[in-house]
Structure 1
Amino acid sequence: MAKQFFIYLISVVLSSQMSLGQNRGKQDLLSAKIDSILQASVDVSEIPGAVVLIKQGDQEIHKAAYGYASLKNYNHHVLAHPERTSIDHLYDIASLTKVVGTTTAIMLLIDDGLIKIDDPVSLYIKAFDTPEKSKITIRHLLTHTAGLYEWYPLYYFANTKKEVYNLIDNLPLKYPVGSDRHYSDLGFILLGEIIERVSKLPLDQFMKQRIFKPLGMNHTMFNPLHHDTELKMAATSHGNPYERRMISDAVLGFSIDSINPNQWDGWRKYTLKGEVNDGNAWYANNGFSGHAGLFSTVSDLQKVVDMLRYDGKVGNQQFVSKQTVRLFLTQDKFMNGLGWVMDTSNAFMKNAPNGSFGHTGFTGTSIAVVPQCDISIVLLINRQNMGLLPSQKYINLNKIRAQVFRAVMDYCTPLKN
């Protein structure tokens, strides 16, 4: 009997070692594939650089940096000494601010009992108590169904945050409330205003005190140059050339007939590094807003992702209630969640299993989370530092993101219910 038990133990150990070896082999293959995709994109000068973190369960499967944090100067010449990027570099995460910062803040206020998801916006912003806007709710803002302009050059008319809020308050709606999804920066600027009104704190301070400090996100902040000029930061655009085009080129669909492109000329004329790329955040909102402005690292962003993956729990503490997490990560009729994108027709998580969620940022950042595989991808690319293409657009990252996501999907095995 003892001999049989000993043989059984040996077989269990050998089986476990074989399983570990197989898993390690699969991880090595995935890492090699991700390395190949991202390094190839750097080598052919599609992108300056990238940082990626892929995590499954509690294990970081792949974490690596490629290429450069700063490659080209304002004149689009390669720097004499380009700065290599690293896993510790801060990236301008652009619209990831909407989900990492603003959406999380709204979740906390809901848990605090200070707001409700279907509260009318007019309860907090009196200017919305009009026949046209009174039906707009916080849910509408989070789901981009409030009927607001997708984008508006607020800095043409506003120099302060108060002026920005007043301007948006008085803009007419562009679409009927709730009729369709029109992705809008303005909706998240308003959410930032609501957060400030309810919490009685500036938006950046609320996020620092209630999100970043408790989660240990020590390298996530607005206006990093105000904190520490020695921080390692990836460079983004050379001024705001695409945004200037948005003002003047009707082909892009953003120009507004009543605005003269030449009536304002405060454009930056240098390469941006540590300054938010987004014009409305920088020129009119002191560098921080509900829609853009955060800088972060892959490791810090992973902490928000992990909190959501574990139904709002961080260690033994419930950071956000499970009920609120489920509320925000349930698809609506437009196939998206509250704040978070859940429509898997998007290239960055194409054909993902049900329940997957994520978001992208204009500068080249993205998060994709696949709960059915217990896996996530945080990918930071500073695509704008290459400058505009001959088409006067920045490189479309859909192909790269799709390749990375497909490689991860080929690796993972959906969990059994």
Structure 2
Amino acid sequence: MRTPLVLAALLAPLPARADFAAVDTAVEAALARNDCPGAVVLVVHRDAVVHRKAYGRRAVRPAAEPMTADTVFDLASLTKPTATGTSIMRLIEQGKLKLDDPVAKHWPAFGKADVTVAHLLLHTSGLTADNALADYADGREKALERVAALKLEAPPGTRFRYSDVGFIVLGELVEKLGGMPVDQYAKTHVFDPLKMTDTGFRPAGDLVKRVAPTGLRDKLTIRGEVHDPRAFKMGGVAGHAGLFGSADDLGRYARMLLRGGELDGARVLKADTVKLFTAPHEVPAQPAKGKEDPPRQFRSYGWDVDTSFSGQRGDAFKRGEGYGHTGFTGTSLWVDPRSQTAVIILTSRVHPDDKGSVGRLRREVANAVAAAVVKN
């Protein structure tokens, strides 16, 4: 059951023609700087899409293509919370997994008895950020064996270090406990119920025509295959990367979270599970150079809350209350429960030559959205 506060937010009138001209200005300036070739921005506010617009170009090579609002993007690390994290939360909700379970309880070959599921979700496991690409050269099975054999770089719980490896491990736990690979589990239990029809791993058929190309592999433009080299070596499916999707689909996913786990009669998570998934937890911070006291940092079980990775929050949304994530290819999602708002920015900043930078764009768009909707 929704709280009176949430019901009031949903029933309150939408902003009267909220002005998103500053969003247009921010995106057009980023395109002029060649920060990215194009973008799609979608804003959810009070359970409605209040801004949805495509800018620039989907592709510049080998032929120019205009960006469209239904373009499908390589979501990169947005895979972590939307596919893997949500799947892990469902398994916890079903009693098949606990946050304090040692990983080795479910994957004995992993060893490292002190590493728990919570450590992996918070990026405090002590695992490396990325192991050698050579570890993935012999296929998925050997890659997972090598991941399981990795030694810790720090004792669990003593260091926050954002880790792709940790989410590769979580993806394997989804398969072991969910009875199917993480791509199938997320499709069956998350994407299909939410009618996220453009979202999934390894896009095929006509969908590829709408996929924004990314960077280069063997001097050829990547299109329809995951950009992340480790996920690619694992066959396009991994817990840390590999998901493709559209802004419309992410808007439905964000609405589900803001509605306490349900959308259009389909319940993906219980309301209490959404709270568990998104609540902030302090993670160990390292002192900044020349300073004695490091700034406090917060993550949730799958999302960034307030760390150096939180730039897409901008300066106006309240710190410590929202949550979101970014993707290496130029994607981002920020959810602000206080104002019942979600900001989705999808770019392919790595196209055409693995360059581009959208940190400034994310911050400016978030600020523009907050100015348009938070005061209402």
Asked if TM exceeds 0.5, the reply is yes
**1:130-209 map, 5 Å:** 133-209=112-188
Helix, strand or coil for the counterpart of 1:102? Answer: helix
Match of 1:375 in 2: 341
C-alpha deviations, 1:135-184, integer Å up to 9, x for none?
10000010000000101234445432211110011111112211011000
1:314, distance to aligned residue in structure 2 (A): 1.9
The letter for the 2-side match of 1:321 is K
Match of 1:238 in 2: 216
Judge conservation of contact 2:37–2:349 (CA < 8 Å) in 1. Answer: yes
CA distance in 1, matches of 2:33, 2:183: 38
Identify if the C-alpha distance between structure 1 residues 134 and 414 changes in structure 2 by more than 3 Å, giving closer, same or farther: farther
Higher helix share: 1
Normalised by the length of structure 1, the TM-score is 0.79
Which residue of 265, 271, 276 corresponds with 2:221?
Answer: 271
CA distance in 1, matches of 2:50, 2:182: 34
CA distance in 1, matches of 2:159, 2:58: 38
Match of 1:13 in 2: none
Match of 2:365 in 1: 404
Match of 1:104 in 2: 86
**1:8-27 map, 5 Å:** 23-25=15-17, 27=18
1:318, distance to aligned residue in structure 2 (A): 3.2
Larger Rg: 1
Normalised by the length of structure 2, the TM-score is 0.88
Helix, strand or coil for the counterpart of 1:214? Answer: coil
Match of 1:117 in 2: 99
CA RMSD of aligned residues (A): 1.9
Gaps of 5+ in 1: 1-18, 74-78, 240-267, 389-393
The letter for the 2-side match of 1:299 is D
Identify if the C-alpha distance between structure 1 residues 135 and 230 changes in structure 2 by more than 3 Å, giving closer, same or farther: closer
Match of 2:25 in 1: 36
CA distance in 2, matches of 1:193, 1:175: 22
Judge conservation of contact 1:154–1:164 (CA < 8 Å) in 2. Answer: no
How many residues in Structure 1 have an aligned counterpart in Structure 2? Answer: 348
C-alpha deviations, 1:245-289, integer Å up to 9, x for none?
xxxxxxxxxxxxxxxxxxxxxxx3300111100000002x10111
1:117, distance to aligned residue in structure 2 (A): 1.2
Match of 1:339 in 2: 302
CA distance in 2, matches of 1:110, 1:296: 25
1:195, distance to aligned residue in structure 2 (A): 0.5
**1:198-347 map, 5 Å:** 198-225=177-204, 227-228=205-206, 231-239=209-217, 268-283=218-233, 285-334=234-283, 335-343=298-306, 346-347=310-311
Identify if the C-alpha distance between structure 1 residues 204 and 316 changes in structure 2 by more than 3 Å, giving closer, same or farther: closer
Helix, strand or coil for the counterpart of 2:76? Answer: coil
What percentage of residue pairs aligned between the two structures are identical? 34
Identify if the C-alpha distance between structure 1 residues 229 and 50 changes in structure 2 by more than 3 Å, giving closer, same or farther: closer
